[in-house]
Amino acid sequence: MSDSLIGTRALRSLLGDWREAAPGALYHALFDRIRLLILDGRIPAGTRLPAERELAQALAVSRTLVTSAYRELREAGYSSSVRGSGSVTRAPGRPPADTRSVPGYLDLTKAVMPASPGIIEATEAAMSDFARYLGGPGYNFEGITELRDAVAERYGARGLPTSREQILITTGAQNAIALLSRLLLGRGDRALVELPSYPHAYEALAQAGARLVPVNVTAGEGWDAEALQQLMQRTNPTVGYLMPDFHNPTGESMSAELRERTIDWATRSGTTIVADETSGELDIDRADTLLPFGAYAGSGAEKSVVMIGSVGKTIWDGLRVGWIRAEPGLIRSLAAARPANDLGTPVLEQLIVARMLADMPEILEHRREQLRTNRNRLEEIIADRFVEWTMPRVHGGIAAWVGLGSASSSQLALAARAEGLLITAGPRFGIDGALERFVRIPLGAPVDQLERGMDALERSWQSILRNPLPDTRLFGEVA
């Protein structure tokens, strides 16, 4: 039996403008789009697809067309027929989640950086402290004192005085988002999110029962401030999940003025802003010097802001250590709720991170040079070889949100696989199949890998140009 079911309406939404997804027979376009949804995780492996007749009616096509597309999925290994369950998806030759690399492929689906120098030395030094914890139970739901103090000191150095009682250590930023979602949200509550945004945040909020209310963030322009205010006032969201610094994937940063206004709107509407700052210190050459988001909360508004951080983007994503900064009462509630899902962050990793946080200025300077080199090289390549594409200048963060000039992101991602490259299609960062005109290109890989990836993308793009797609601006693509 399958693990889950995707409804006809949900699948139709994810398919978007699938008729324009590929040249040739229409059933093959449907096959191609469902295949991509499986490959990038929007339809997990083990999901039962809608019945052929139901999907045909929903898409206003013949049942024969859907039958042919499903047959292609089975023959290509992307689904299997299970008695009593119909067609059930599978991901051939790779784990079902979209977070694992495929052997032999260059993987640009992850916006991460190589390990920071100094991890080995910090690990060796941390071992001497580790022995002190071996006589205890090893469970600490709030985190060890050394790391909570180090995180608090780092906030203070950035201009936001913080105490140990305001910090809870988590197993990465994703763990923090999920924990906050479970505690703060009830089924049917509204959650304000950005569009585009981090897809696993969408998932965590939705799994907690939230109804997602999106506000646009546009590369080169930033947040739609008027829409943000109206959504706050009209929908009174319980939670607002925002990335105010070097937003993933657009790279945009909120101005100081908009931060103050957003916190004020949140306070008035009873919304808790969860500010994800995992990329917040990856500054390349931003003109403004901005404080952590919570520093812009006026008197009485402090409880409206919760901040999330981690070392996954700065030190190494293999160190699964993150944190939540909030008022002490919420920290205690989070710690009390945590054992239902996990029993704390590994002690040794906390000790390593506590040591490395003291070296963050040097680590960030090294990261700045890496990101500047890759950003500049990517700009050169796009200007020289992709005349249809646009890349607004990125002043920090881990990725570029590149405009393709046509609704062809899913087709590009599929074509890239044939060239040995894994890259995530734009709709992965949206809701309801939008954002086909964009692709996220990570900046963290070594420059030689970035160049190889762009070579593969150029070959993929040229194959698409040989089979040009019609303009789909009339189909409501979100920009």
pLDDT number for residue 23? 58
pLDDT number for residue 460? 96
Beta bridge partners of 81: 87
For residue 466, the one-letter residue type is R
Instruction: List every span in the chain annotated with CATH 3.40.640.10.
Output: 119-358
CA 302 – CA 296 distance, rounded (Å): 9
Q: According to CATH, what is the number of the domain 119-358?
A: 3.40.640.10
Reported pTM: 0.82
User: What's the CA dihedral at 441, 443, 447, 448 to 10 degrees?
Assistant: -30
| DSSP string for 167-219 | EEEESHHHHHHHHHHHHH--TT-EEEEEES--HHHHHHHHHTTPEEEEEEEET
CA 334 – CA 391 distance, rounded (Å): 40
For the beta carbon of residue 152, count every other beta carbon within 10 angstroms.
20
pLDDT number for residue 90? 82
CA 453 – CA 456 distance, rounded (Å): 5
CA 292 – CA 277 distance, rounded (Å): 8
Q: According to CATH, what is the number of the domain 4-89?
A: 1.10.10.10
Instruction: List every span in the chain annotated with CATH 3.90.1150.10.
Output: 106-116+362-475
User: What's the CA dihedral at 70, 76, 77, 83 to 10 degrees?
Assistant: 30
CA 181 – CA 179 distance, rounded (Å): 5
The CATH number corresponding to 106-116+362-475 among 3.90.1150.10, 1.10.1520.10, 3.40.109.10, 3.40.430.10 equals 3.90.1150.10
pLDDT number for residue 96? 35
| DSSP string for 256-305 | HHHHHHHHHHHHHHTPEEEEE-TTTT-BSS-SS----GGGG--TT-GGGE
pLDDT in tens, the chain (479 residues): 345 788 898 888 888 778 765 556 888 889 888 988 887 777 877 889 999 999 999 999 999 999 999 998 988 888 888 766 688 888 654 433 343 456 688 999 999 999 998 999 999 999 988 988 888 887 889 999 999 999 999 999 999 999 999 999 999 999 999 999 999 999 999 999 999 999 999 999 999 999 999 999 999 999 999 999 999 999 999 999 999 999 999 999 999 999 999 999 999 999 999 999 999 999 999 998 999 999 999 888 989 999 999 999 999 999 999 999 999 999 999 999 999 888 889 999 999 999 999 999 999 999 999 999 999 999 999 999 999 999 999 999 999 999 999 888 988 998 999 899 999 999 899 987 678 899 999 999 999 999 999 999 999 999 988 865 443 322 222 22
Identify the CA nearest to 248 among candidates 18, 384, 15, 440.
Answer: 440
